[in-house]
Structure formats: structure tokens, C-alpha cells
Structure 1
Amino acid sequence: MTQQARLTAGRTMGSQTLAGNNSNDAFVEFERVQKSYDGENLVVKDLNLFMPKGEFLTMLGPSGSGKTTCLMMLAGFETATHGDIRLDGVSINNIPPHKRGIGMVFQNYALFPHMTVAENLSFPLEVRKMGKSDREAKVKRALDMVQMGDFAGRRPAQLSGGQQQRIALSRALVFEPELVLMDEPLGALDKQLRETLQFEITNLAHALGITVVYVTHDQTEALTMSDRVAVFDDGRIQQLAPPDKLYEEPENSFVAQFIGENNTLEGVVKEIKGDHCLIQLDDGGLIDAKPINVSAVGERTRVSIRPERVEYNKDRLSPDAHTLHAEVLEFIYMGDIFRTRLKVAGTEEFVIKTRNAPDVERLQPGQSIEIGWLPEDCRALDA
């Protein structure tokens, strides 16, 4: 299945999730789910989420946002205070974890140190009363899937971190579950190995057709691996969408700031006409933007522009580009790109990312320039 084919539309407004599939098509369902540990403060607030079978969905957010609690409720290690969680149409609220048939992969591997690799994988099959010959066949198949077939006789302490995580993944898959939950599984690995396993896990999940709920605070993991990403903050999904839509079309200031690098300019809405609005910046300047999360003239707003959407080469500026004066504070060569930090409209943290090319001017600190962007790349969000 191609990446384009997997990118199904989805969005959320408040606590109501408007997914590209409805609840009738859902394999995993959270319906009006709430969670409180003390009876007063809600860690998860009125969650509605529907996932089709075979989707790779990532729950992304900062610590304390509610994403891990949602995963633990789905696994059965936490109980919902209110609402219903269903798997393939069946409520699982009162089903214990070991009877849900869900595979789990944790950051700390959770392998039995006194068992060999093969024994670790065989254990969940023994619990399910599977015969020896069937166990051996499934263990071999699961190890071969993660290129660890030659390590069956070793113990976890004899393996590297990356090898242990491959074994933990194969153990989650060995009994052929339809749903696998992963809680920060790559958090303990170095950058290069983490990137390698990102692609391995994604390709394996789609090859096997399993449904995956993946929890992370790493936005690169989320954007790289997922069919859709649910961005959590303050116990709610702030936006649910495919990775490209999430990055290109953030629906509020939290998502714009949390996903990727982002420039913000603050001001007041002066005029709204259809799909354009006029913003008076706090320094007095005027810019055009798309009114995404503003509703009335006089409302304060935070305008969002991605660094790669801003241009300073005059011959590259579109005739429709909106321009502002800027002062160069820092110009950094980063190999494939130049990263320029500017003073713009009163802020000294405005950044441009420009692809390294022979015709790109190399700027100097203190230099005055004109920068520009297309109005459709500028989004007026909540203040």
C-alpha cells in the first residue's frame, strides 16, 4: 500500500473527532472516555476516537497530556472512569488485559532475563496452551520477521539495545494479534538505530496488516511512521490528521508550535473576507492570512508561518507574496540548508530555512532585507 493511499483524512474540533472513517467502520473505538485518578481532575477528557483495522495511529504529545493513559486504558492496565472502549465492536472495559489478545511493546523491552530469546517468544504461546511444534514454528517465523533468527539461543543480556527491542517486537507479534500497542518503544535507542527501526516497524506493521497504536513525544517518529497522528494536550486531542495535513494545516496554536519549527507573529484581526483576513501586527504592520481559528474582527490572533515557506531572494519572490522588513541576526550554514534568524515585527526569533543552492545569497548579521511569503501559507490561529 502506498503512502498516498494510506493518508486518509481526519480532523478534530474540541472533543469531537471527525475521522475519515465513522464508528461503524471502527476496529478500535473510544466513546466519550474520561479518566480521573483522584475523582476531581480529568487526565483524559471526553475522548472520542475511531480507528479502522490496519491503521498505524500515533498518540503524540508532551508529558502529562493524556496519551499514555489512553494507551494503558486500551491495554487494560488502567480503567476508564467514564465512557466505553470497544475492540472490533465488543466493549472491553471489563475484560482483563491477558484476555484482550493485544500485543505490547515497551521502552524497557520487558524481556525475561533468565530465559533465552526463543523461550521469551514461546512464553505467550504456552500461556495460550499451544502445542510444542506449533510454538516452535511461530517462534521461528517471528524471529525471521525481525532478522533475529540466529539469536534464538541467546539471553537478553547478550544482546544490544536494538536487538533486544527487535526481540520485544517479535514477542508482541508471535501470537499474531490484530492490535499491537507500543509505548515509547524507541526512546532508549541512539538516533541512527531509532531511525532504522522506525522504518522497520512501519513496514512490518503494514506488511502484516496489523493495527498499531503508538505512543511517543517525538514528533519526527510520529510524522515518519504514522497513517494518522492524534496530537494530545491537556487530556484532549487537539488535532487528528495524516502527518502532512498536521504539519501543513495546523488547526490551533498548540499544534502549530508542537509540530515542527514554526514562526509566530501576534496581532489583531482587522477584517475577515471569506478565506482571507487582514491582521494588524503589534508593531503596526499589516499582513494577509487564512482565518483558521479566528471568528471576529477585533480578536487577538497568533499568525503561523513555517520557516521553509518564507523567501528572501527577490527573484524567487512570487508577485503575490506579502513582504515585511527584517534584520538578519544570525546566518548558519547547515549543509543542505541555510538557517537564518531574523528580527521581524518585534520578534527576534523569526527563522527562515532556505535550500542550499548556488543562487542563494549568503546573508550577514546586521543586514537589512525584505522577506515574503504567500498569504495561503500564513494561518491566523488562536492567541
Structure 2
Amino acid sequence: MLDQTSDDAFVAFDRVQKSYDGETLVVKDLNLRIGKGEFLTMLGPSGSGKTTCLMMLAGFETATHGDILLDGKPINNIPPHKRGIGMVFQNYALFPHMTVGENLAFPLEVRGLGKSEREEKVMGALDMVQMGEFAGRRPAQLSGGQQQRIALARALVFEPELVLMDEPLGALDKQLREHMQFEIKHLHERLGVTVVYVTHDQSEALTMSDRVAVFDDGRIQQLAPPDVLYEQPENAFVAQFIGENNKLNGTVTARADSTVTVDLPNGLTVDALAVNCGDVGAATTLSLRPERVFLDQSAPNRTTGHVQELIYLGDHIRCRMSVAGNDEFVVKVPNAAGHRHLKVGETTDVSWHTEDCRALDAS
């Protein structure tokens, strides 16, 4: 895994800014390093700047300020077709009048490869995505999942060192999307190609990536491997955007080396890890994952919750309750032998450990 400040990056954004109107920056002073062979996902809500960054890397948008480097060389002034980058889009972008084989051969023809070499590479790429028998079909004769496989094969057929993917699975149904996530992940592992992937789907980002760059308001809010993003969010936006999260707003009343004491509006006092909060008197947002809450008094931070809603999800029960003034407080109760069955309307003990509760910026 590559450190963000390393100079041996395969892809580098150096102080990159982008404005469409000369006033509002949609990308603000982006510094990002991506290692060779890495799978990096740009994740964020609509308008956060992630797709603009991908389009600047592809060459379809130009940076207002700063440099973009590929393998150490600036590419700001190199047109898209000369960057040698593979692209996969949500809408597949296949040529409807060409067969599958012709679609894959096109980027090879542009690069001047002979017919026999083109045919060999096309069949190799189709076999790679298990679509070898579909070479003679047209895109309209394929399902959405099959078209996406062909789009993926076309992006890889000329053996680029970098592949960019912009919401490539967004048009697929849930089951096929999840299947394709693993297929792309395994292809990446087998080929060792560098992938920059854009999505707004946080579960997709966690499933596929070596590292995830979480974007909001034109900036990277946090850049880390998936488990670190989920377990150790650095601010309230990341905590709320990645996975399900319980949010409790309060005021810091005491501070130790690594922990703070926080008063909540309903009079409850809790201890939390001091991650990104101010000193005594400052407002803070506490972040607590639903699976880290116990329905007993076994952990140091203790209170009660009033059960509002129960949703059966197979392996667990999603219990929404009112806790410490938050009516959207969620506890995930494992659907396993020995776990008690809650009822809507009942009051129950809840508790959590200090190290599982993170004191972040006030949101």
C-alpha cells in the first residue's frame, strides 16, 4: 500500500483544483498518490468532486490549477486517446452497430495492431470475462450484465496499466451488482492493473478497494483502507457516510489523555475516545456503530432505550430505539441462540465500551 505522501506514485494529483465558472471550486487543492497495482475508490455523494477528478485523470476535463502525473510524467496537456488509459462507464458505451468482437478490436485497430494479433487479444479478453462465445453478437442482443462484462473486456483488451471505472455497476440489479463486484476484484488481483473506481455506494467501495478516498465538498475527508474507514472515522461526515452509525450530540465537560467526558442533552454523561473534538465546553458528535451496542449493563457507558421498531433481516434484527434523546438509535441484535427477543414498546438496558465511541467534530 502506498503512502499518500510518497514520490514513487503511479498516479499523482498535485495541488489540483477545478472550477467550471472561474469562481466556485468543485475540486479544492487535491493531493493524492496512487500506487502501481492499487485499487483505489473515490467515494462520495453527488457533487462531491469524485467524478470530476476521474474525468481530469482521463483527460475529458482539464485542471484549473495543479498537475496530474502518470508514472512520473505530467499528462495535463496529453489528449485522452494518447494517455493509454482503459475506461468503463455506467452506460457501457459500446458501439451498437458493431459486434462484440468488433467492439473489442476497435481500440487495438486504433493502436495499429495486425489482424491476427487483434483476434488473439480479443478472444483472450473475452475468455477473461467468460464471454468467449458471444464474439459475433451485437450489444442489443446481450443482457445488462453481459454488456458490462464486454465493456470491462474492451477496457482491458489493449493491456493498459491504468483502468478508470465510473459507476460501472450502477445500472445492474442488486444480485448481479454484488456478483460483478467480486469479478472485478478478482480480475484486478489476477492482472495487477491499477484501478481508479468512482462510486457513491459505500458497500461497493468497502468490498472492492485497497484504499478508499472519501470525498465531500471538493476535498478528500479521509483516505484509508476500508476497515480503517469503518472502524476509525476521522470526522462526523465519514462516520455518517460509511456504514450505519449512531450519532449523539453533546458537550465536552472533561478531557484526559485519549478520552473525553461528554454531557448529552438528556442529562446522560458518557466517556468516549477523543478523536477530533475540542476542549472543555466544545460541542462534539459521538459516533457509535450499531453492532457495538449491548442490550445489558455489561459495558461502562450505561443507559436505557425504548424500542420503537424491529426489522427482521435474517442474520440479525435491526432494532431502532430512542436512546439519550436520539429516536433513530439503532442496535443490531444477532439472530442467534441465546439472544433475547425484544418487543416494540418495551424499555431495555443498553451499554457500550468507551473505545467504541468516538468523539468527533460537531455536525
TM-score (norm 1): 0.93
| Amino acid paired to 2:322 | K
Q: What is the deviation of 1:23?
A: 3.0
Q: What is the deviation of 1:25?
A: 2.0
1:63 aligns with 2:46: yes
Match of 1:292 in 2: 275
Same amino acid, percent of matched pairs: 70
Whether the 8 Å contact between 2:296 and 2:348 is mirrored in structure 1 is: no
1:365 aligns with 2:341: no
Match of 2:64 in 1: 81
Which of 253, 263, 285 aligns to 1:280? It is 263
Match of 1:100 in 2: 83
Match of 1:143 in 2: 126
**Matches of 1:348 and 1:21, distance apart in 2:** 39
Report the RMSD for the aligned CA atoms in angstroms.
Answer: 1.0
Which of 29, 32, 43 aligns to 2:12? It is 29
Whether the 8 Å contact between 1:313 and 1:361 is mirrored in structure 2 is: no
| Amino acid paired to 2:361 | D
Alignment of 1:102-251 (within 5 A): 102-251=85-234
Q: What is the deviation of 1:334?
A: 2.1
Which of 352, 356, 363 aligns to 2:335? It is 356
| Amino acid paired to 1:249 | Q
Q: What is the deviation of 1:347?
A: 1.4
| Amino acid paired to 1:196 | H
Match of 2:292 in 1: 309
Deviations 1:165-205 (A, max 9, x none): 00000000000000000000000000111011000001101
Q: What is the deviation of 1:366?
A: 2.1
Alignment of 1:244-263 (within 5 A): 244-263=227-246
| Amino acid paired to 1:213 | V
Whether the 8 Å contact between 2:278 and 2:284 is mirrored in structure 1 is: no
Match of 1:340 in 2: 319
Whether the 8 Å contact between 2:167 and 2:197 is mirrored in structure 1 is: yes
Whether the 8 Å contact between 1:59 and 1:214 is mirrored in structure 2 is: yes
Deviates more, 1:182-191 or 1:354-363: 354-363
**Matches of 2:234 and 2:261, distance apart in 1:** 18
Whether the 8 Å contact between 1:29 and 1:49 is mirrored in structure 2 is: yes
How many residues get paired?
362
TM-score (norm 2): 0.98
Match of 2:24 in 1: 41
Q: What is the deviation of 1:21?
A: 5.0
Moved over 3 A (4+): none
| Amino acid paired to 1:263 | N
SS at match of 2:7: helix
Mark the runs of 5 or more structure 2 residues left unpaired by the alignment: none
Whether the 8 Å contact between 1:21 and 1:52 is mirrored in structure 2 is: no
Match of 1:4 in 2: none
Q: What is the deviation of 1:332?
A: 2.6
**Matches of 2:124 and 2:255, distance apart in 1:** 60
**Matches of 1:180 and 1:48, distance apart in 2:** 20
**Matches of 1:56 and 1:137, distance apart in 2:** 27
| Amino acid paired to 2:233 | P
